[in-house]
Amino acid sequence: MIPGPIEFEPEVMDAMCVPTPSHVAPDFIESFGHSLEMMKLVWMCPSGQPFVVAGTGTLAMDIAGSNLIEPGDCAMVISTGYFGHRFANLLRRYGANVTLLTAPVGDIVPLEEIEAALKKKKYKLMTSTHVDTSTAVMNDPKPIGVLGKKYDVLTILDGVCSVAGEEIQQEAWGIDVVLTASQKAIGVPPGLAMLVVSPKAMSVWKNRSQPVGNYYADWENWLPIMDAYLQRKPSYFGTPAVNLILALEKSLQLILKEGMEQRIERHRKVGHAFREGLKSLGLKIIPLNDGAAANTLSAPWFPENVQGSALISGILDEGVIVAGGLLPEIKTSYFRVGHMGMVGKNEVVTTLKAIETSLIKQGLRLENDACLKTALEIL
Ligand code: PMP
């Protein structure tokens, strides 16, 4: 139950456990092209340009940053935790002049603060993290897209912990780049960096005055490859992660078979049930209000007088793996539980029960199974 890599569908694992085909084999070309087409449906961005490149979510951030930033460009980073700071460092590496708007732990940056900063100077792009996996804080990308349009600023959404788990309507909301990695709600083992890019962002890239400062990430190299797969033609720049693409095709098929609306609703329900279950165990979560709480993971504080590492190993004794803290300033004060992908009633119940048992071992007095009743009522 860690927030990625998540547990994967057996059908997805089966799809990749085959002898590795050539990257130019006709059936592989079909799988890659089909996956790119399905990405546009999952991202809800029919006119977007999809990219899938072997690498992690950080590569997806790197691809967006290196292709869209030129030295001296102004960029705004809206940070709700660890991954916002990573984006700021990354953009600086490509010569961006970065303005960092950082939310207090557990909160989001208010829209008025973002708009006030946009009024002060002209930015080329702004980034936000949909769900920051270090804090479980969720931003609403929709009004950020509106501000991007109003001030003619490109918007990049780090959707590593949200795509296929939280609602995203990239095109309708006017978000220029939505990026993710395979190992979270997309439901494929780690190793794929994935992005969908708006026509506007592609034209900003085409009109660059200087070459992209990262050879592997350069869209000049990857655009012809993605176009070729979409047109079902062979091509080569760097060898694709062939087996992972086969897994991706299967996972996207399963996601679309469930239906985007149903899938997002299931994650909402699971997230809500899990948070309410935590509350009835007396645990407080990092997000300061329910509107800023993610549905793909939860981040509860350790209760007072409970030793964090003992609580986590007690949960493990019950057969459930959770993750420790990640945000440096509070790292030892909280833990994280992922609930995305194939997660449903069984996982919620088993995990809450494991936390309850471990808390009781730590000396807390709790009403047996009260958290399960709360969660099951919602589910
Ligand atoms: N952004 C977010 C929100 C993430 O959760 C992560 C990974 N946990 C990343 C970026 C980086 O992804 P990766 O570890 O695959 O490089």
Same domain, 322 and 267: yes
- Does the C-beta of 161 come closer than 6 Å to ligand 1? yes
Total domains, the chain: 2
Domain assignment of residue 296, yes or no: yes
Cα 372 to ligand 1 centre (Å):
31
Angstrom distance (rounded) from CA 338 to CA 287: 15
Per-residue model confidence as pLDDT tens digits over 302-326? 999 899 999 999 999 999 999 999 9
Per-residue model confidence as pLDDT tens digits over 256-306? 999 999 999 999 999 999 999 999 999 999 999 989 999 999 999 999 989
Domain end position, chosen among 202, 231, 258? 258
Give the domain CATH number at 236.
3.40.640.10
Same domain, 287 and 173: no
Specify whether the CB–CB gap between 273 and 348 falls below 8 A: yes
**Omega before 287 cis (within 30°)?**
no
Cα 58 to ligand 1 centre (Å):
6
Task: Give the domain extent around 365.
Answer: 260-378
At 320, list the tokens: 């459930």
Give the domain CATH number at 270.
3.90.1150.10
Same domain, 270 and 236: no
Cα 9 to ligand 1 centre (Å):
21
Pairing outcome for strands 297-298 and 323-324: unpaired
Same domain, 230 and 293: no
Domain assignment of residue 4, yes or no: no
Name the nearest CA neighbour of 361 among 298, 304, 313, 301.
313
Same domain, 242 and 355: no
Nearest residue (CA) to ligand 1, atom 12: 57
DSSP 104: P
Domain assignment of residue 37, yes or no: yes
Distances (CA, A) of 351 to 263, 280, 321, 332, 373: 21, 14, 9, 20, 13
Angstrom distance (rounded) from CA 302 to CA 1: 17
Domain assignment of residue 55, yes or no: yes
pTM value > 0.75: yes
Per-residue model confidence as pLDDT tens digits over 237-264? 999 999 999 999 999 999 999 999 999 9
Domain assignment of residue 172, yes or no: yes
Confidence of residue 45 (pLDDT cuts 50, 70, 90): very high
Same domain, 50 and 171: yes
Cα 366 to ligand 1 centre (Å):
35
- Rounded to 10 degrees, what is the CA torsion of 258, 244, 163, 346? 50
Specify whether the CB–CB gap between 113 and 126 falls below 8 A: no
Angle (deg, nearest 10), helices 111-120 and 141-150: 20
- Percentage, residues of the chain above pLDDT 90: 99
Same domain, 32 and 97: yes
Determine the pLDDT at residue 362.
Answer: 94
Domain assignment of residue 1, yes or no: no
Give every CB contact of residue 304 below 8 A, 6+ residues apart in sequence. Answer: none
Per-residue model confidence as pLDDT tens digits over 82-131? 999 999 999 999 999 999 999 999 999 999 999 999 999 999 999 999 99
Same domain, 268 and 216: no
Q: 3-state secondary structure string, 314-332?
A: HHHHCCCCCEECCCHHHHH
Tokens 């590569």 correspond to 59
Per-residue model confidence as pLDDT tens digits over 10-27? 999 999 999 999 999 999
Specify whether the CB–CB gap between 297 and 340 falls below 8 A: yes
Angstrom distance (rounded) from CA 161 to CA 53: 18
With the most atoms of ligand 1 within 8 angstroms of its CB, the residue from 127, 133, 163, 182 to mutate is: 133
- Looking at residues 153-173, what average pLDDT do you find? 98
Angstrom distance (rounded) from CA 157 to CA 155: 7
Of all atoms in ligand 1, which is nearest to the CA of residue 130?
Answer: 3
Determine the pLDDT at residue 360.
Answer: 96
- Looking at residues 132-142, what average pLDDT do you find? 98
Same domain, 146 and 246: yes
DSSP secondary structure of 240-263: --HHHHHHHHHHHHHHHHH-HHHH
Domain assignment of residue 3, yes or no: no
Q: What three-state secondary structure class fits 342?
A: coil
Specify whether the CB–CB gap between 254 and 11 falls below 8 A: yes
Of all atoms in ligand 1, which is nearest to the CA of residue 183?
Answer: 15
Domain assignment of residue 290, yes or no: yes
Confidence of residue 134 (pLDDT cuts 50, 70, 90): very high
- Does the C-beta of 154 come closer than 6 Å to ligand 1? no
Cα 378 to ligand 1 centre (Å):
30
Determine the pLDDT at residue 257.
Answer: 98
Same domain, 318 and 282: yes
Q: What three-state secondary structure class fits 35?
A: helix
Angstrom distance (rounded) from CA 224 to CA 232: 12
Same domain, 167 and 295: no
Cα 227 to ligand 1 centre (Å):
27
Determine the pLDDT at residue 348.
Answer: 98
User: Tell me, what amino acid is at 141?
Assistant: P
Q: Write out the E strands in the chain.
A: 49-54, 74-79, 97-102, 125-129, 131-132, 137-138, 154-158, 177-181, 192-197, 297-298, 323-324, 335-338
Per-residue model confidence as pLDDT tens digits over 199-208? 999 999 999 9
Give every CB contact of residue 13 below 8 A, 6+ residues apart in sequence. Answer: 247
- Does the C-beta of 160 come closer than 6 Å to ligand 1? yes
Angstrom distance (rounded) from CA 240 to CA 252: 18
At 257, list the tokens: 């078979």
Average model confidence (pLDDT) across the chain: 97
Same domain, 341 and 356: yes
